[in-house]
Amino acid sequence: MQHASPPPSPKPSTAPAKGKRVAPRPLIHKIMIWIFGPLFLLWTIGIVITYFIAQHIANSPYDRTLRDHLDLLRVEISHQDLSQPIRLSHGAQTILRQDSPTPTLWQIRNANGEPIAGNASLPVPDSWGYDTDLLRYRDVILDDQSLRLAYVWGGKDKNDTPFLAVAAETNEHRAVLHREILIGMLTPQFILVPLAAMLAGLGLTHGLEPLNLLQARLRARAPGDLSPVDHEQAPAEIVPLIDAMNGLLAQQAQFSATQRQFVANAAHQLKTPLAGIRTQAELALRERDPQQTESSLLQLVRGTDRATRLVTQMLALARAESSDALYAPTRQTLDLNTLTELYVTQRVPDALKLGLDLGLENNAKAILLQADPVLLDELINNLLDNALIYTPAGGWITLRTGQSPGKGWLEIEDNGPGIPAEHRARIFDRFYRIIGNQADGSGLGLAIVREIADIHGATIDFMPLSSGQESGLRLRVSFPLSLPWRA
């Protein structure tokens, strides 16, 4: 006999320690993090970009002025002889602001890079080159002052002697302009961005108000109220969530109604055997005749057996319907032929006591199913119990297995009274019994079979009786060999 494998050892829990409940983070906080986090990151990047743009804007006009001063120097030197002292005209000195506290410094160097006129301390890079009319700029520190240099090679004096012209000015004016541009560009940002963030936060708070209203409506509900949640005033974004919630509430309402009906039916069904047990116990206490006492005790045992079987079937049905992870069905590869042979062998003594012929017709090849072993045991046992209870003495019961494309099936047939066509639609309901049937059944056997079949994705069909049979029942349960089944 195949047994269910022992449950796997529990994995170490990663949940917080008991008593240390992690407070959930509000949705608005998550939204604000994802909105304002990237916003302030981009704002920071924008400030850096603005800094360099302002620097470029501040340098451009002053660099053009340096270029003009270089052109002026080249024109002035072109009319003079480099071998003689260089003197700038009055107009050139005025343009170069020679009388200003911050004049434009200038320098003339020969082809060897040696200064021959102007401010000899102005540096020139070693790799300044001899590219004619190629203007270059450079920032240097001279006498603790930041200077901007511009130099170009290719000017010639009146004797066609080439020279290098250099012009320089301090970066003080550039820094002032740079700072003013930055203040002008960043001041609106420092005002508008925080203001926009504050307004966005207020907008988000106001926009999430429908969620707070929905929460208040749900909290105001009675504990047993499973009616659908109205979403007419809800934002379109959470309507799918409300629809999913309503679907869950509908399932829960149906489940609760089914459970209430189950409990009511169970109480009604248990009342009869318990009342019989009490009656027989009272009779046994009053009887003085040993034979009558023994008869009462036998009735007491039969009533106890009936109550025990009813409770066992109710527990089996509850387990089959349970969604609890502790009782969740497991998948194992099972041979249907092996299971049927095992259970038929076990039930042969019961059949002989009842005067029944119990037979087995197995498929020639193994039929391998992915199934829960405990639930499949319950299914086969309930089919056999049902047949043993309702088949009269002298009758026969046959259990068969077979295989069709994509399916393996289990079939049970007997020559009992059968099930009239008008009752077949309800015969799988809980506690349903055909009126007038005196057999000692509970009405749960076929309900358990249907529930277990549904879990495994199996179908139940009423099949035509074997040839020559006038009455009886032939029921087939077909299991998919590869399709997934309900977890």
Q: pLDDT tens, 56-109?
A: 888 888 889 888 988 898 888 888 888 888 888 888 888 888 777 888 888 898
> Which pLDDT score, from 0 to 100, does residue 358 have?
92
> Which pLDDT score, from 0 to 100, does residue 485 have?
53
> Which pLDDT score, from 0 to 100, does residue 15 have?
47
Torsion angle, CA of 171/127/153/102, rounded to 10 degrees?
20
For the chain of 487 residues, list the mean pLDDT of each consecutive stretch of 10. 42 49 66 82 89 87 88 88 86 82 86 85 77 85 87 87 90 87 87 85 79 80 81 76 85 75 63 70 76 76 69 64 51 88 90 91 89 86 87 90 90 87 78 59 75 87 83 90 60
- Report residue 434 as tokens: 């055909």
> Which pLDDT score, from 0 to 100, does residue 9 have?
46
Residue written as token pair 């270029």: 67
> Which pLDDT score, from 0 to 100, does residue 320 have?
62
For the chain, the first-to-last Cα distance in angstroms comes to: 24
Bridge partners of 162?
Answer: 156
Q: Provide the 10 A C-beta neighbour count for residue 267.
A: 9
Give the distance from CA 428 to its chain's centroid: 38
Asked if 163 contacts 108 with a C-beta cutoff of 8 angstroms, the reply is yes
Q: Provide the 10 A C-beta neighbour count for residue 312.
A: 14
Closest of 438, 481, 429 to residue 457, by C-alpha: 481
What's the angle, vertex CA 203, arms to CA 197 and CA 208, rounded to 5?
Answer: 130
Give dist(CA 4, CA 168) in Å, integer.
Answer: 93
- Report residue 229 as tokens: 């949640």
> Which pLDDT score, from 0 to 100, does residue 326 have?
40
